[in-house]
Amino acid sequence: MKFSVVIVTRNRKEDVKRSIEGYLAQTYENKEIIVIDNASNDGTREMMLQDYPGIKYLWLPDNFDIRTINLGVEMSTGDIIWRTDSDSYPESPETFEKVAEIFSKHPEIDIIATEDIEVRKGNQPWDWYPLPIDKINVPENGYKANFFPGTGAAIKKKVFDKIGGFWEFGFEELDFCTRAIVAGFNVRYFPNIRTLHFASPLDRNNANRWVMASKQYIRYSWRYFPLGQAIWRSVQIIFFQILLAVFTKIPISAMFEGFFGMLSIMFYTYRNERNVVPQEKLNDITLGVSVSHNQMRFFKQVVLNKVRKMLKKSNNE
Protein backbone atom coordinates (compact mmCIF):
# COMPACT_ATOMS: atom_id res chain seq x y z
CA MET A 1 0.00 0.00 0.00
CA LYS A 2 1.57 3.28 -1.13
CA PHE A 3 0.61 6.77 0.03
CA SER A 4 0.70 9.77 -2.30
CA VAL A 5 0.64 13.07 -0.41
CA VAL A 6 -0.74 15.83 -2.65
CA ILE A 7 -0.03 19.41 -1.55
CA VAL A 8 -1.30 22.48 -3.41
CA THR A 9 0.40 25.75 -2.52
CA ARG A 10 0.73 29.39 -3.49
CA ASN A 11 3.13 31.87 -1.91
CA ARG A 12 3.50 29.94 1.34
CA LYS A 13 7.18 29.09 1.26
CA GLU A 14 7.71 28.56 4.99
CA ASP A 15 4.35 26.87 5.48
CA VAL A 16 4.91 24.33 2.73
CA LYS A 17 8.43 23.65 4.02
CA ARG A 18 7.07 22.85 7.48
CA SER A 19 4.35 20.69 5.95
CA ILE A 20 6.81 18.74 3.78
CA GLU A 21 9.05 18.09 6.78
CA GLY A 22 6.03 16.81 8.67
CA TYR A 23 5.30 14.28 5.94
CA LEU A 24 8.92 13.27 5.52
CA ALA A 25 8.87 12.47 9.24
CA GLN A 26 6.19 9.82 8.72
CA THR A 27 7.67 6.44 9.66
CA TYR A 28 5.71 4.70 6.91
CA GLU A 29 8.26 4.23 4.14
CA ASN A 30 6.15 3.51 1.06
CA LYS A 31 5.12 7.09 0.30
CA GLU A 32 5.66 9.94 -2.12
CA ILE A 33 5.07 13.69 -1.85
CA ILE A 34 3.70 15.74 -4.74
CA VAL A 35 3.63 19.54 -4.64
CA ILE A 36 1.58 21.55 -7.13
CA ASP A 37 2.52 25.22 -7.10
CA ASN A 38 -0.10 27.75 -8.26
CA ALA A 39 2.32 30.37 -9.62
CA SER A 40 4.18 31.19 -6.38
CA ASN A 41 6.63 34.10 -6.68
CA ASP A 42 7.94 34.12 -3.09
CA GLY A 43 10.88 31.75 -3.58
CA THR A 44 8.90 28.52 -3.20
CA ARG A 45 9.99 27.34 -6.64
CA GLU A 46 13.68 27.87 -5.92
CA MET A 47 13.37 26.22 -2.50
CA MET A 48 11.69 23.14 -3.92
CA LEU A 49 14.28 22.65 -6.66
CA GLN A 50 17.20 23.20 -4.30
CA ASP A 51 16.07 21.58 -1.04
CA TYR A 52 13.67 18.87 -2.20
CA PRO A 53 14.90 17.47 -5.53
CA GLY A 54 13.41 14.07 -4.71
CA ILE A 55 9.86 15.42 -4.39
CA LYS A 56 7.59 15.58 -7.41
CA TYR A 57 7.05 19.26 -8.07
CA LEU A 58 4.99 21.09 -10.68
CA TRP A 59 5.03 24.89 -10.99
CA LEU A 60 2.10 26.41 -12.89
CA PRO A 61 2.25 29.82 -14.58
CA ASP A 62 -1.23 30.77 -13.31
CA ASN A 63 -3.28 30.24 -10.16
CA PHE A 64 -5.82 27.50 -10.91
CA ASP A 65 -6.99 27.28 -7.26
CA ILE A 66 -7.70 24.07 -5.39
CA ARG A 67 -8.58 22.16 -8.57
CA THR A 68 -4.88 21.57 -9.17
CA ILE A 69 -5.14 18.81 -6.58
CA ASN A 70 -6.51 16.82 -9.50
CA LEU A 71 -3.21 17.28 -11.37
CA GLY A 72 -1.40 15.90 -8.33
CA VAL A 73 -3.68 12.87 -8.30
CA GLU A 74 -2.90 12.25 -11.97
CA MET A 75 0.83 12.44 -11.19
CA SER A 76 0.51 10.03 -8.26
CA THR A 77 1.53 6.37 -8.21
CA GLY A 78 0.02 5.45 -4.84
CA ASP A 79 -3.01 3.41 -3.83
CA ILE A 80 -3.96 6.03 -1.23
CA ILE A 81 -4.19 9.76 -1.94
CA TRP A 82 -3.52 11.85 1.16
CA ARG A 83 -5.47 15.09 0.74
CA THR A 84 -3.86 17.93 2.67
CA ASP A 85 -3.19 21.68 2.71
CA SER A 86 0.17 23.40 2.49
CA ASP A 87 -0.12 24.47 6.14
CA SER A 88 -0.96 21.06 7.61
CA TYR A 89 0.54 17.69 8.48
CA PRO A 90 -0.28 14.72 10.78
CA GLU A 91 0.35 15.17 14.48
CA SER A 92 1.85 11.71 14.91
CA PRO A 93 4.74 10.32 12.81
CA GLU A 94 2.93 6.96 12.91
CA THR A 95 -0.26 8.29 11.29
CA PHE A 96 0.27 6.57 7.93
CA GLU A 97 1.04 3.33 9.74
CA LYS A 98 -2.28 3.55 11.55
CA VAL A 99 -4.25 4.50 8.42
CA ALA A 100 -2.71 1.63 6.45
CA GLU A 101 -3.72 -0.75 9.25
CA ILE A 102 -7.30 0.52 9.19
CA PHE A 103 -7.58 0.08 5.43
CA SER A 104 -6.12 -3.43 5.70
CA LYS A 105 -8.50 -4.50 8.48
CA HIS A 106 -11.54 -2.76 6.98
CA PRO A 107 -11.47 -3.00 3.19
CA GLU A 108 -15.03 -1.62 3.11
CA ILE A 109 -13.68 1.80 4.15
CA ASP A 110 -12.73 4.01 1.20
CA ILE A 111 -12.19 7.49 2.71
CA ILE A 112 -10.82 8.34 6.15
CA ALA A 113 -11.53 11.77 7.63
CA THR A 114 -9.17 12.93 10.38
CA GLU A 115 -9.46 15.37 13.27
CA ASP A 116 -8.49 18.93 12.31
CA ILE A 117 -6.50 20.59 15.12
CA GLU A 118 -6.38 24.38 14.80
CA VAL A 119 -2.91 25.14 16.15
CA ARG A 120 -3.23 28.94 16.04
CA LYS A 121 -6.49 28.76 17.98
CA GLY A 122 -5.10 27.12 21.06
CA ASN A 123 -4.92 23.63 19.54
CA GLN A 124 -8.70 23.47 19.45
CA PRO A 125 -10.27 20.81 17.20
CA TRP A 126 -12.51 22.06 14.43
CA ASP A 127 -15.88 20.78 15.60
CA TRP A 128 -17.20 19.93 12.12
CA TYR A 129 -18.82 16.58 12.90
CA PRO A 130 -22.51 17.25 13.63
CA LEU A 131 -23.42 14.19 15.71
CA PRO A 132 -22.59 13.44 19.38
CA ILE A 133 -19.76 10.89 19.57
CA ASP A 134 -17.16 9.55 21.97
CA LYS A 135 -13.81 10.87 20.74
CA ILE A 136 -11.87 8.86 23.30
CA ASN A 137 -13.26 5.37 22.74
CA VAL A 138 -13.39 5.44 18.95
CA PRO A 139 -14.75 2.30 17.25
CA GLU A 140 -12.11 0.49 15.20
CA ASN A 141 -14.05 1.31 12.02
CA GLY A 142 -14.62 4.94 13.00
CA TYR A 143 -17.86 6.89 12.60
CA LYS A 144 -20.06 7.25 9.56
CA ALA A 145 -19.29 10.56 7.83
CA ASN A 146 -20.39 12.69 4.88
CA PHE A 147 -17.41 15.05 4.80
CA PHE A 148 -13.71 15.35 5.57
CA PRO A 149 -11.57 18.39 6.47
CA GLY A 150 -9.26 19.23 3.59
CA THR A 151 -6.29 19.43 5.95
CA GLY A 152 -5.99 15.66 6.26
CA ALA A 153 -7.86 12.80 4.61
CA ALA A 154 -6.91 9.42 3.18
CA ILE A 155 -8.74 8.54 -0.05
CA LYS A 156 -8.36 5.36 -2.05
CA LYS A 157 -7.23 6.11 -5.58
CA LYS A 158 -10.11 4.04 -6.97
CA VAL A 159 -12.53 6.68 -5.68
CA PHE A 160 -10.95 9.30 -7.96
CA ASP A 161 -10.89 6.80 -10.81
CA LYS A 162 -14.65 6.35 -10.56
CA ILE A 163 -16.06 9.77 -9.63
CA GLY A 164 -13.36 12.22 -10.78
CA GLY A 165 -11.73 14.98 -8.77
CA PHE A 166 -12.56 18.18 -6.91
CA TRP A 167 -14.43 21.23 -8.14
CA GLU A 168 -13.41 24.85 -7.40
CA PHE A 169 -12.72 26.21 -3.92
CA GLY A 170 -15.71 26.15 -1.60
CA PHE A 171 -17.26 23.00 -0.08
CA GLU A 172 -15.21 20.91 -2.51
CA GLU A 173 -14.78 18.18 0.12
CA LEU A 174 -18.54 18.01 0.72
CA ASP A 175 -19.27 17.77 -3.00
CA PHE A 176 -16.59 15.08 -3.41
CA CYS A 177 -17.96 13.01 -0.51
CA THR A 178 -21.52 13.28 -1.82
CA ARG A 179 -20.49 11.92 -5.20
CA ALA A 180 -18.47 9.19 -3.48
CA ILE A 181 -21.36 8.12 -1.24
CA VAL A 182 -23.80 8.04 -4.15
CA ALA A 183 -21.28 5.90 -6.05
CA GLY A 184 -21.25 3.40 -3.19
CA PHE A 185 -18.07 4.37 -1.34
CA ASN A 186 -17.78 4.52 2.44
CA VAL A 187 -16.58 7.62 4.33
CA ARG A 188 -15.52 7.20 7.97
CA TYR A 189 -14.36 9.71 10.59
CA PHE A 190 -11.56 8.92 13.05
CA PRO A 191 -11.20 11.71 15.66
CA ASN A 192 -8.23 9.84 17.18
CA ILE A 193 -6.19 10.47 14.00
CA ARG A 194 -5.19 14.11 14.29
CA THR A 195 -3.93 16.59 11.71
CA LEU A 196 -2.23 19.84 12.74
CA HIS A 197 -3.57 22.84 10.84
CA PHE A 198 -1.59 26.08 11.17
CA ALA A 199 -4.15 28.10 9.17
CA SER A 200 -1.63 30.25 7.36
CA PRO A 201 -2.72 33.91 7.02
CA LEU A 202 -0.71 34.21 3.79
CA ASP A 203 -2.35 34.60 0.38
CA ARG A 204 -5.85 34.78 1.83
CA ASN A 205 -8.64 37.22 1.04
CA ASN A 206 -11.49 36.66 3.46
CA ALA A 207 -13.99 38.59 1.33
CA ASN A 208 -13.21 36.55 -1.77
CA ARG A 209 -13.31 33.31 0.19
CA TRP A 210 -16.69 34.25 1.67
CA VAL A 211 -18.12 35.05 -1.77
CA MET A 212 -16.82 31.83 -3.30
CA ALA A 213 -17.88 29.60 -0.40
CA SER A 214 -21.38 31.14 -0.30
CA LYS A 215 -21.95 30.50 -4.00
CA GLN A 216 -20.57 26.97 -3.84
CA TYR A 217 -22.81 26.00 -0.91
CA ILE A 218 -25.84 27.14 -2.89
CA ARG A 219 -24.53 25.34 -5.96
CA TYR A 220 -24.15 22.16 -3.92
CA SER A 221 -27.75 22.36 -2.69
CA TRP A 222 -29.21 22.93 -6.14
CA ARG A 223 -27.11 20.21 -7.69
CA TYR A 224 -28.09 17.37 -5.37
CA PHE A 225 -31.36 18.08 -3.52
CA PRO A 226 -34.99 17.88 -4.66
CA LEU A 227 -36.39 21.26 -5.70
CA GLY A 228 -38.33 21.98 -2.52
CA GLN A 229 -35.37 21.12 -0.31
CA ALA A 230 -32.99 23.10 -2.53
CA ILE A 231 -35.15 26.21 -2.15
CA TRP A 232 -35.48 25.87 1.63
CA ARG A 233 -31.77 25.11 2.06
CA SER A 234 -30.93 28.20 -0.01
CA VAL A 235 -33.09 30.46 2.15
CA GLN A 236 -31.25 29.27 5.26
CA ILE A 237 -27.80 29.44 3.65
CA ILE A 238 -28.33 33.00 2.42
CA PHE A 239 -29.54 34.11 5.85
CA PHE A 240 -26.60 32.61 7.71
CA GLN A 241 -23.99 33.66 5.14
CA ILE A 242 -25.14 37.28 5.30
CA LEU A 243 -25.15 37.06 9.10
CA LEU A 244 -21.61 35.69 8.98
CA ALA A 245 -20.53 38.45 6.60
CA VAL A 246 -21.87 41.16 8.90
CA PHE A 247 -20.28 39.61 11.98
CA THR A 248 -16.86 39.17 10.31
CA LYS A 249 -17.04 42.64 8.72
CA ILE A 250 -16.99 41.56 5.10
CA PRO A 251 -17.02 44.70 2.87
CA ILE A 252 -20.47 45.73 1.67
CA SER A 253 -19.37 45.41 -1.96
CA ALA A 254 -18.47 41.76 -1.35
CA MET A 255 -21.82 41.18 0.39
CA PHE A 256 -23.68 42.41 -2.68
CA GLU A 257 -21.46 40.31 -4.93
CA GLY A 258 -22.06 37.25 -2.79
CA PHE A 259 -25.81 37.81 -2.46
CA PHE A 260 -26.44 38.21 -6.18
CA GLY A 261 -23.92 35.46 -6.89
CA MET A 262 -25.91 33.07 -4.70
CA LEU A 263 -29.09 33.96 -6.57
CA SER A 264 -27.56 33.57 -10.01
CA ILE A 265 -25.84 30.26 -9.22
CA MET A 266 -29.24 28.75 -8.41
CA PHE A 267 -30.46 29.23 -11.97
CA TYR A 268 -27.16 28.17 -13.52
CA THR A 269 -27.01 24.95 -11.50
CA TYR A 270 -30.68 24.15 -12.11
CA ARG A 271 -30.19 24.46 -15.87
CA ASN A 272 -26.81 22.79 -16.20
CA GLU A 273 -25.83 20.63 -13.23
CA ARG A 274 -28.88 19.02 -11.66
CA ASN A 275 -28.01 15.53 -10.44
CA VAL A 276 -30.51 14.88 -7.66
CA VAL A 277 -29.42 12.28 -5.13
CA PRO A 278 -31.69 9.21 -4.83
CA GLN A 279 -34.13 9.52 -1.93
CA GLU A 280 -32.58 6.57 -0.08
CA LYS A 281 -29.17 8.31 -0.12
CA LEU A 282 -30.27 11.70 1.21
CA ASN A 283 -29.82 10.69 4.84
CA ASP A 284 -26.34 9.36 4.06
CA ILE A 285 -25.15 12.65 2.56
CA THR A 286 -26.62 14.76 5.39
CA LEU A 287 -26.32 12.33 8.33
CA GLY A 288 -29.90 13.38 9.04
CA VAL A 289 -28.75 16.87 10.10
CA SER A 290 -30.40 20.03 8.75
CA VAL A 291 -28.47 22.79 7.01
CA SER A 292 -29.59 25.30 9.66
CA HIS A 293 -28.12 23.10 12.39
CA ASN A 294 -24.78 22.94 10.56
CA GLN A 295 -24.78 26.66 9.86
CA MET A 296 -25.61 27.50 13.47
CA ARG A 297 -22.81 25.27 14.75
CA PHE A 298 -20.33 26.91 12.38
CA PHE A 299 -21.48 30.41 13.33
CA LYS A 300 -21.13 29.52 17.01
CA GLN A 301 -17.51 28.49 16.43
CA VAL A 302 -16.80 31.75 14.60
CA VAL A 303 -18.20 33.72 17.55
CA LEU A 304 -16.22 31.70 20.09
CA ASN A 305 -13.01 32.17 18.09
CA LYS A 306 -13.63 35.90 17.94
CA VAL A 307 -14.24 36.06 21.69
CA ARG A 308 -11.12 33.98 22.35
CA LYS A 309 -9.05 36.32 20.21
CA MET A 310 -10.43 39.38 22.00
CA LEU A 311 -9.68 37.89 25.42
CA LYS A 312 -6.15 37.00 24.36
CA LYS A 313 -5.57 40.53 23.09
CA SER A 314 -7.00 41.98 26.32
CA ASN A 315 -4.74 39.80 28.46
CA ASN A 316 -1.67 40.80 26.45
CA GLU A 317 -2.47 44.45 27.02
3-state secondary structure of 308: helix
Residues pairing with 299 in the sheet: none
Tens digits of per-residue pLDDT, 154-169?
999 999 999 999 999 9
3-197 CATH = 3.90.550.10
144-153, 179-188, 201-210, range with the lowest pLDDT: 201-210
Reported pTM: 0.93
How many whole angstroms separate alpha carbon 107 and alpha carbon 104?
6
- Give domain limits for the chain: 3-197, 206-316
- pLDDT band for 242, please (50, 70, 90 cuts): very high
The answer to whether 60 touches 37, Cβ cutoff 8 Å, is: yes
Q: 47 Cβ partners below 8 Å, 6+ apart? A: 13, 17
Q: What is the pLDDT of residue 317?
A: 59
Check: CB of residue 27 under 8 Å from CB of residue 47. no
pLDDT digits (tens, 9 = 90+) for 23-33: 999 999 999 99
pLDDT at site 312:
64
- Give the model's confidence band at 203: pLDDT under 50 very low, under 70 low, under 90 confident, else very high: low
Residues linked to residue 58 through DSSP beta bridges, in sequence order: 36
Given a cut of 70, is residue 73 above it in pLDDT? yes
- How do residues 106-132 score in pLDDT, each as one tens digit? 999 999 999 999 998 889 999 899 999
- Name the amino acid, one letter, at 187: V
Contact 210, 133 (CB under 8 A): no
